[in-house]
Chain A
């Protein structure tokens, strides 16, 4: 009985973790620029990985292996934001432009105007 409950909790944690990992990957595909992609890539992954590792810890019980898993969670938590920050700084230094709603609307408007102009000259 206890084994079954343990297994259920483990599966729940693993499912939650993989949900966040999948969401993060979807975010990388859907978001428009480097900066907003890092939001999805950097943090959904941190939480997803740590939730999965918590699942493993519950499955394993408290022994030397689970202590190592706890250490992995700690290191992921400390190094994740540093890596995200490094990538953001690299993007800024190499001159990436930020995607904004206003810029997007302007781009769309210009696009429509230019296509209308094309229609006028052709028609």
Chain B
């Protein structure tokens, strides 16, 4: 009974998002295009809503979406910082690189949060996620020791804590 209502929630959310996406991309407000959009987005939402909204509980889903929006600017800032570092290594005449694979535990539990952390690590230049164990251990290829230092300094590291906070698994990062 309860599961039914959660399914309705994910169906509604995916329908709304897909329909907004349709309107933004078509840019026409005539009846023909609007009704075609309703049909298409309802069909797709009906088939894929289980995958499209991974968090089934409405309150947790909205909280996660809000925290994720706050997480993006921080990630972008980190990406720019690290990108300058890699650019320096590429343009340096001696090319100071020392590739190695580091291992660290992240204390994350769900697949979704581990995927987000893995993608964030890969987006941060100087580090690429190679593999993730189901218990949350990350294997990361880094171009040199210094760009990966932020992952090893603490357990769990700042990025893992922030991702865990986004998905409600770890307390807020304090500094």
Chain A residues close to B by CB (< 8 Å): 19-20, 23-24, 26-27, 30-33, 35-36, 38-40, 42-44, 46-47, 64, 67-68, 71, 77-78, 80-82, 84-85, 88-89, 92, 98-101
Interface residues on B, range: 20 to 34
Most B CB within 10 A of own CB, among A24, A40, A43, A44: A43
A47 touches B80 (CB 8 A): yes
> Nearest residue in B to A48 (C-beta to C-beta)?
B83
Cα distance, A117 to B101, chains bound together (Å): 35
User: Is A85 a contact partner of B97 (Cβ separation < 8 A)?
Assistant: no
A96 to B75, CA, bound (A): 31
List, in ascending order, chain A residues with CB within 8 A of B143's CB.
Answer: 36, 39
Residues in A with CB closer than 8 Å to B25 are 68
Contact segment of B6-14, B33-41, B58-66, B85-93: B85-93
Contact of B97 among A36, A43, A77, A80 (CB under 8 A): A36
Min C-beta distance of A13 to chain B, whole Å: 13
Contacts of A78 in B (CB 8 A): 119
The residues of B that contact A38 with a CB separation of less than 8 Å are 128
Q: Are A88 and B130 in contact (CB under 8 A)?
A: yes
A61 vs chain B, min Cβ distance (A): 15
Please name the residue on chain B nearest to A38 by beta carbon.
B128
Q: Is the CB of A85 within 8 A of B122?
A: yes
User: B51 contacts the other chain (Cβ, under 8 Å)?
Assistant: no
The reply to whether the CB of B95 lies closer than 8 angstroms to some CB of chain A is yes
Residues of A within 8 A of B87 (CB): 19-20, 23, 44
What residues of B have a CB within 8 angstroms of the CB of A64 in the complex?
A: 24, 27
Tell me the smallest distance from the CB of A114 to a CB of chain B, in Å: 25
Residue of B nearest to A63 (CB): B27
For B96, the closest partner residue in chain A by CB is A101
Contacts of A92 in B (CB 8 A): 130
| Cα distance, A27 to B101, chains bound together (Å) | 20
In order of increasing CB-CB distance, the 10 nearest A-B pairs are A81-B122, A27-B90, A43-B125, A81-B119, A23-B87, A64-B27, A101-B98, A39-B143, A47-B83, A36-B99
For residue B164, CB closer than 8 A to chain A, the reply is no
Q: Knowing A80-B123, A82-B119 touch, does A20 contact B83 (C-beta < 8 A)?
A: yes
18 residue pairs of the A-B complex, CB under 8 angstroms, read A20-B87, A27-B86, A27-B90, A31-B95, A31-B97, A35-B128, A35-B141, A36-B97, A39-B143, A43-B124, A47-B79, A67-B24, A68-B24, A84-B122, A85-B118, A85-B128, A88-B141, A101-B98
